[in-house]
């Protein structure tokens, strides 16, 4: 997903609520994922949701 890749590359996670919307629109109904994206953070490189979307381990 391009949004996650851009956040990771730029180290700018201010768009994580947009990622939540995109995930939900694509059929994600995992409350843990969506709640994390909409939570206060802090969201930084290594964020488990972004890593999950990008297939990182």
The pLDDT, as a whole number, for residue 27 is 97
Structure tokens of 13? 């996670």
- The domain in which residue 23 lies consists of 2-54
The pLDDT, as a whole number, for residue 31 is 97
1-57: pLDDT as tens digits: 899 999 999 999 999 999 999 999 999 999 999 999 999 888 888 899 999 999 997
Structure tokens of 18? 């947009």
The pLDDT, as a whole number, for residue 1 is 80
The pLDDT, as a whole number, for residue 42 is 84
The pLDDT, as a whole number, for residue 20 is 96
What is the reported pTM?
A: 0.84
Whether the Cβ atoms of residue 19 and residue 3 lie closer than 8 Å to each other: yes
User: If you ran DSSP here, which 8-state letter would residue 36 be given?
Assistant: H
Considering all CA atoms of the chain, what is the largest pairwise distance in Å, rounded to the nearest integer? 27
Closest CA to 1 of 12, 21, 11: 21
> How many structural domains does the chain have?
1
């Amino acid at each position: 997903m391009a949004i996650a890749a851009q956040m990771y590359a730029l180290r700018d996670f201010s768009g994580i609520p947009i990622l939540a919307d995109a995930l939900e629109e694509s059929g994600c109904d995992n409350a843990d994922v969506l709640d994390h994206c909409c939570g206060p953070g802090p969201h930084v490189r290594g964020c488990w949701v972004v890593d999950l979307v990008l297939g990182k381990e």
